[in-house]
Amino acid sequence: MAAKYDAIVIGGGHNGLVCAAYLAKAGRKTLVLEGRHVLGGAAVTEEVYPGFKYSVFSYVVSLFRPHIIRELNLAQHGLQLIPLECSFTPHLEGPGLVRWSEAARTRREIARLSPRDAEIQPAFSLAMTKMAFLIKNIIDNPVPDPTSLDPRELKRLADFGNHFLKLDADSFHLHSQLLTMSAVDFLSLWFESEILMAPMSVSGIIGTFLGVRSPGTAYVLLHHYMGEIDGAFRSWGFSRGGTGGLSLACARAAESLGAQIRTEAPVSHLRVQNGRTTGVVLENGDEIEARTVFSSLDPNRTFLRLVGEQHLDEEFTNQIKRYKLRGSSGKVNLALDRIPEFTCRPGIGPHLMGDLAIAPNIDYLERAYDQAKYGDFSERPYINAVFPSLVDPSVAPPGKHVMSCFVQYAPYHIKEGPEFWPQRREAFGEAVIDTLEQYAPGLRDCILHKQVLTPWDMEQMVGLSEGNIFQGELSLEQLLFQRPAPGWARYRTPIRDLWMCGSGAHPGGGIMGSPGELAAKYALQTRGV
Amino acid sequence: MPIPTPFHPRTSEFCTSLQWKEWAGYYAIRSFDVHFDREYYAFRHAAGMIDVTPLYKYDVRGPDATAYLNRIVVRNIAKLKQNQVAYLCWCDDDGKVIDDGTVTRFEEDYYRVTSTDPDFHWFLRHMRGFDVTVENITDEVAALSVQGPNSRDVLRDVCDADMDKLKFFRTTKTRVDGGIDARISRTGYTGDLGYEIWVKNDDALGLWDALMAAGEPHGLVPAGLDAMDVTRIEAGFILNGIDYFNALHSLIERRKASPYELSLGWAVHLKRDPFIGQEALRHIKKDGPPRLFVGLDIDWPSFERLFAKHGLPPEVHSGGWRTGVPIYDSGGNFIGQATSGAWSPLLKKNLALATVQAEHGHIGNTVHLEVTVEYERKTVPATIVPKPFFDPERMKA
Ligand SMILES: Cc1cc2nc3c(=O)[nH]c(=O)nc-3n(C[C@H](O)[C@H](O)[C@H](O)COP(=O)(O)OP(=O)(O)OC[C@H]3O[C@@H](n4cnc5c(N)ncnc54)[C@H](O)[C@@H]3O)c2cc1C
């Protein structure tokens, strides 16, 4: 049997790596086991086509916690986040809409759509900033356990509640609205222009199998206001070298602190004895002993595959089975000979240096959802695209470019059945390119290479069950006390010495680093490792 | 009234923000955009290009050039090889710093000095007995600084010098774009991979155009002083007139500082022929400097809490600040001052450069910095940390 470790971290995605770094920093002998040949998981850069570095899955970084950058010295290990300049919504008619980081410029853009909306933005931002204050506390701490009678827990719960009680009446109502309303209804409380609201509302649906008019989608909008209050000061950014650059910086930090990292070491299952784990068994049969195991895989994969139902009670198993994954998005990565011009705003200028949303109006988005509800991918989908090479030339040969397109909806459960996705992949990719061609004719001629990823592919490649990009929907009933299952929101699991540290744990998905950080800190603090 | 640099026709064309300031008698751009951060990020992830013409430049030639300069500066430049650059300072008789800058040895008997202040008079004053000429070429030579991880790629594409052979703090002659004679030195004020390119004024616009064209695929962006100021703070570089004062311009002793108080002790070579300030510096070194120039990492969670008490998110200056603030020990006694600082978007740290009494200046020590929160004066703990705050391998690699 191989060396004994204090902790084995399964999965070398960014959360697993952050978790390992914190464990190693506390002096724990830590080993990371990644199944693939590259580190990063859903935050990975790969040279799929020679000279072009794709951010294969995730493509922009928003919520990565600044204190993790400080505490792990990630900048010195190569992390660089470059803020996005703007958000461009091309239209088939008219000049399109660009929301710039410069407020006055944005105001002039919006005034063309609605002079009233143009000036309401500051009030909206103010309200959202207040709300984001709440979220920050939620994101940066493990959730209190509402069922515990431990006085410390009760105090934490009270503190948690106090944040809400301290809100003035207006904010309290606002918060209730956020919890219950749809993204569109919520935005309609402020704005009148559907054209403006469309690109704003989509942040409520990313990674969920819901539409912009589905109740509960308002909450996720808040995440966009986080950056401004936590020292990031501009929320969305590119990671230099692609999102894998961030993961590699985490890996270098972990290694510099003493953690060991192995790639091409897929874990087959956990060793479980008398309700406690004692290590892992690799697919090649090797057993590695460890005092604790941290899984950064989603709850479904962790419990139903690596642990096995035989070690779990029925109620818990059922909860995990009910945990909603339902992947709904795809990805198309393109290598471009040149960047095509968008008809509504010709030229290759700063408007292409941020992100670009195909979200011309609310009905368009809702129609895209309608098709998906009945088991099809959207023929005219919502697309969020970026040209990272315009800002970070390191990801393409000089003068050439990469284009990264996040696409929704591409439901995992297509009506033929998910295993038929490979047959529909080509058609899906074509639908995306056709859609983009409408706004940027000539795009097709610029393409040197394309990589089309369906939710099925994501499951196969990085083990995201049902291709859910967040290791489980970020819908309200799956957040906070309930992520991944009621009573198990604090990284512990029903298997002793097995901890959860990936996006399937609080506070959830996105390139944040929080689940990894908080799991490690919480386990260390409670002497769990 | 300031005068335009030779790059003015281009810089003014790109400067959409109209944010200018005076720098050594020239018009200089603070930031091209309303926000400087695109320029800042370019310095760190691609390349930024800044007009550094206003730096004072003096050419020293003659058989005694080495001996003459060695009489003035604290560092033994006789050791410099041809095409090597040295960073150093020069002092008054009391060993107090007048200015810091670079000396480049182009040829056996030909040097170029750059300085922050107009020090021509100081160099002229010490010529007697040396067979040298000193020429003030400040207004005849234009300079651009191209800084950032892609700066080498930009220059490789536009000049005939072997950029891969040009080491840190070395210089070379080259021809840009097939026609412009230039000198490139691998130096800069950002603490990153970077180069400064020097040409005759008449070639300035040609140089700008060639670099912009070559830089396009490498993400080269014209940048202003605000962006550079944040990078120089991350790099822990001192600034004359801000972090210390020219001894010749200081009315009171307290304002003067020896190299040992400015973290420049390493540049002082005491064991050699006499130079200005040598005797005094010997004593200062022996007694130990009374103050130290240090880097501060201002505790962010404490800073956040001060604002949270008012229900506010933390507010930091946009860009570098240079309004000195007092520093106290844990007993509330004044022990020094922070003279400049910046929020580092890269490190996500709130940084400052400070001068503190030597006994408080050790790495790891916690001091207390004055901050103003919602109009009230408070203090926030800050840790003394090593400089540079950011030290990318590529700078010297
Ligand atoms: C297409 C797509 C686009 C996205 N876009 C964004 C975005 O733009 N911005 C954003 O913030 N977030 C985005 N996300 C979400 C974000 O990328 C994820 O939430 C985050 O990267 C998850 O990190 P993680 O470390 O928790 O898990 P993962 O990244 O899923 O890491 C799990 C790791 O475990 C490995 N693994 C799986 N099974 C085994 C096994 N048996 N043995 C060993 N290793 C195993 C996997 O290979 C993987 O490396 C996107 C996700 C996807 C899929």
The closest alpha carbon to A328, from A196, A198, A434, A421, belongs to A421
pLDDT at A1 (0 to 100): 46
Angstroms from B158 CA to nearest CA on chain A: 14
What's the DSSP call for residue B394? G
| Contact at CB, A70 and B44, closer than 8 angstroms | no
Identify whether B38 is part of a domain.
Answer: yes
User: Cα Rg for chain A, rounded, in angstroms?
Assistant: 22
Question: Which of A206, A247, A297 to probe ligand 1 with, by most ligand atoms within 8 A of CB?
Answer: A297
A368-378 pLDDT per residue, tens:
999 999 999 99
Residues B310 and B381 in one domain: yes
Q: Is residue A89 a contact partner of residue A356, using CB atoms and an 8 Å limit? A: yes
Q: Is the CB of A502 under 6 A from ligand 1?
A: yes
CA B330, distance to chain mean position in Å, is 32
Q: What is the CATH number of the domain that holds B150?
A: 3.30.1360.120
Considering chain B, what percentage of its residues have pLDDT values greater than 90? 96
Total domains in the fold of chain B: 3
Q: Do A233 and B345 touch (CB under 8 A)?
A: yes
Whether residue B29 lies inside any domain: the answer is: yes
Select from A449, A368, A380, A460 the least CA-distant residue to A421.
A460
Q: If residue A518 lies in a helix (H) or strand (E), which one and from where to where?
A: helix A514-525
**Out of A471-480, B72-81, B254-263, B277-286, which region has the weakest mean confidence (pLDDT)?**
A471-480
Sheet holding B141-147, edge to edge: B171-176, B180-185, B194-200, B141-147, B47-51, B220-222
Establish if A252 touches chain B: CB-CB under 8 angstroms.
Answer: no
Q: Is the CB of A300 under 6 A from ligand 1?
A: no
Question: Whose C-alpha lies nearest to ligand 1, atom 37?
Answer: A463
Chain B residue numbers with beta carbons less than 8 Å from the beta carbon of A235 are: none
Count chain A–chain B contacts defined by CB atoms under 8 A.
66
Q: How far is CA B40 from CA A100, A353, B186, B196, B219, in A?
A: 18, 16, 19, 17, 12
User: Residue B339 maps to which CATH number?
Assistant: 2.40.30.110
Give the amino acid at B299: D
* B238 is a domain residue: no
Whether residues A83 and B347 touch (CB distance < 8 A) is answered with no
Q: Which atom of ligand 1 is nearest to the CA of A330?
A: 1
Q: Is residue B276 part of a domain?
A: yes
Q: What is the pLDDT of residue A163?
A: 65
Q: Does domain A329-410+413-453 have CATH number 3.30.519?
A: yes
Phi and psi for A412 in degrees, rounded to 5?
A: -55, -45
pLDDT of res. B341: 98
Q: Is the pLDDT of residue B92 over 60?
A: yes
Q: Is B207 found in the same domain as B345?
A: no
Q: Long-range pairs for B16-20 at CB < 8 Å and ≥24 separation?
A: B19/B224, B19/B226
Asked if the domains at A2-43+62-80+240-324+471-525 and A329-410+413-453 fall in one CATH topology, the answer is no
Range B146-150 average pLDDT: 97
The answer to whether A30 and A24 are in contact (CB under 8 A) is yes
Q: Do both B214 and B80 map to the same domain?
A: no
What pLDDT does residue A234 have? 57
Question: What pLDDT sits at residue A170?
Answer: 78
Please check whether residue A274 is in contact with residue A260, taking contact to mean a CB–CB distance below 8 angstroms: no
- A182's CB contacts (< 8 A; 6+ apart) are A204, A211, A212, A213, A214, A215, A216, A217, A218
**CB of residue A35 inside a 6 A radius of ligand 1:** yes
* Assembly ipTM: 0.90
CA–CA separation, B283 vs B93, rounded Å? 12
Q: What is the distance between the alpha carbons of residues B267 and B218, in angstroms, rounded to a whole number?
A: 35
User: In whole angstroms, how far apart are CA A222 and each of A46, A227, A228?
Assistant: 31, 10, 11
Burial environment of residue A336 by CB neighbours within 10 A (0 to 12, 13 to 18, 19 or more): buried
Ligand 1 closest atom vs CA A329: 1
- B353 and B319 share one domain: yes
Q: Does A85 touch chain B (CB under 8 A)?
A: yes
Judged by CB atoms closer than 8 Å, whether chains meet at B346 and A80 is answered as: yes
Residues A157, A494 contacting (CB under 8 angstroms): no
Q: What is the model's pLDDT at position A474?
A: 76
**How far, CA to CA in Å, does B281 sit from each of A155, B74, B274, B286?**
60, 9, 11, 8
Binding-face residues of A in 227-246 toward B, CB within 8 A: 228-234, 240
Q: What is d(CA A233, CA B40) in angstroms, rounded to the nearest whole number?
A: 14
Reading the block at residue A170, the tokens are 């207006």
> Angle CA(B55)–CA(B58)–CA(B64) in degrees, nearest 5?
150
Distance, CA A464 to ligand 1 centroid (Å)?
A: 7
- Is the minimum distance from the CB of A30 to ligand 1 under 6 angstroms? no
User: What is the tens place of the pLDDT at every residue in A127-168?
Assistant: 887 777 777 777 788 877 766 667 766 666 666 666 666 667
User: What SS3 state is found at A122?
Assistant: helix
Burial class (CB in 10 A: 0-12, 13-18, 19+), A281: middle
**One-letter amino acid of A96:** G
Characterize B139-156 residue by residue with b for buried, 16 or more Cβ atoms within 10 angstroms of its Cβ, and e for exposed. Answer: bebbbbbbbbbbbbbbbb
CA distances to A2, A13, A357, A456 from A288, rounded to whole Å, are: 6, 20, 46, 30
Closest-CA residue of chain B to A240: B45
Task: Give the closest residue to B201 by CA, choosing from B136, B140, B135, B114.
Answer: B140
User: For position A224, what pLDDT does the model report?
Assistant: 62
Residue B242 lies in a domain: no
Q: Are B14 and B132 part of one and the same domain?
A: no
Where does residue A13 rank: exposed (0-12), middle (13-18), buried (19+ CB within 10 A)? buried
As a whole number of angstroms, the distance between CA A82 and CA B38 comes to: 8
Ligand 1 pocket test target in A55, A469, A500 with most atoms within 8 Å of CB:
A469
Question: Which residue do the tokens 């400087």 mark?
Answer: B36
pTM tops 0.80: yes
- A206: which residues sit within 8 A by CB, 6+ positions away? A220, A329, A384, A406, A408, A469
**Fold (CATH) for A2-43+62-80+240-324+471-525:** FAD/NAD(P)-binding domain (3.50.50)
User: Which domain range does residue B83 map to?
Assistant: 57-137+258-287
Closest CA to ligand 1's atom 52? A469
The C-alpha of A102 sits at a distance from chain B's nearest C-alpha, in angstroms, of: 8
Q: Left if phi > 0, otherwise alpha if psi is -120 to 50, otherwise beta: which for A204?
A: alpha
Q: Specify whether B330 is located in the same domain as B384.
A: yes
Q: Are residues B40 and B150 in the same domain?
A: yes
CA distances from A168 to A171, A218, A225, B214 (A): 5, 20, 19, 56
Residue in B closest to A103 by C-alpha: B34
Q: Using the beta-carbon criterion (under 8 Å), do A75 and B347 form an inter-chain contact?
A: yes
Does A351 contact B at CB distance below 8 Å? no
In angstroms and rounded to an integer, the radius of gyration of the C-alpha atoms of chain B is: 21
Ligand 1 pocket member A261 (CB < 6 A): no
Element (H, E) at A329: strand A329-336
Q: Among A403, A503, A512, A517, which residue has the most ligand 1 atoms within 8 Å of its CB, making it the best to mutate? A: A503
Same domain assignment for residues B165 and B114: no
Measured between beta carbons, the chain B residues lying within 8 angstroms of A83 are 37, 41, 345
Å between B29 CA and nearest CA of chain A? 19
- Rounded Cα distance, B219 and B157, in Å: 13
Block residue for tokens 């769990």 = A528
Residue A247: other Cβ atoms inside 10 A:
29
Q: State how far the Cα of A178 lies from the Cα of A185, in Å rounded to an integer.
A: 10
Pairing of strands B349-357, B291-298: antiparallel
What is the spatial distance between Cα B255 and Cα B268, in angstroms, rounded to a whole number?
20
CA–CA separation, A481 vs B100, rounded Å? Answer: 59
Res. B254: pLDDT tops 70: yes
Q: Are residues B51 and B153 in the same domain?
A: yes
One domain, residues B208 and B352: no
| Residue among A449, A447, A339, A347 nearest A393 (CA) | A339
Give the residue on A whose Cα is nearest the Cα of B46: A392
**pLDDT under 50: residue ranges of chain A:** 1-2, 232
Provide the pLDDT confidence category of residue B154 given band limits of 50, 70 and 90: very high
The answer to whether position B328 is within a domain reads yes
Q: How do strand A30-33 and strand A260-262 relate by DSSP bridges?
A: parallel
Q: Which residues in chain B touch residue A129, judged by CB atoms under 8 angstroms apart? A: 313
Would B329 be classed as within a structural domain?
A: yes
pLDDT higher than 90, residue B133 = yes
* Structure letter (DSSP) for residue B30: E
Residue B253 domain-assigned?
A: no
Q: What is the pLDDT of residue A157?
A: 64
* CATH code: domain of residue B88: 3.30.70.1400
353-392 in A: which are within 8 Å (CB) of B? 391-392
Which residues of B are less than 8 Å from A391 in CB distance?
45-46, 219
Q: Which of B359, B382, B87 is nearest to B240 (CA)?
A: B87
Does A510 contact ligand 1 (Cβ within 6 A)? yes
Q: Do B346 and A75 touch (CB under 8 A)?
A: yes
Cβ–Cβ of B46/A393 closer than 8 Å? Answer: yes
Complete DSSP assignment for B179-237: TEEEEEES--SSSSSEEEEEEEGGGHHHHHHHHHHHHGGGTEEE--HHHHHHHHHHTT-
Cα A423 to averaged position of ligand 1 atoms, centre (Å): 24
Write out the DSSP string of A290-324: EEEEEE-S-HIIIIIIII-GGGS-HHHHHHHHHS-
pLDDT of residue B313: 83
d(CA A404, CA A96): 20
Contact B314 A231 (CB under 8 A): yes
Residue among B54, B101, B201, B185 nearest B141 (CA): B201
Domain boundaries, chain A: 2-43+62-80+240-324+471-525, 115-234, 329-410+413-453
What does the block give as tokens for B323? 């309004």
**Burial class, B163, CB count within 10 angstroms (exposed 0-12 / middle 13-18 / buried 19+):** buried
B65 and B204 in a single domain? The answer is no
pLDDT interval class at B231 (50, 70, 90):
very high
Residues B51 and B64 reside in one and the same domain: no
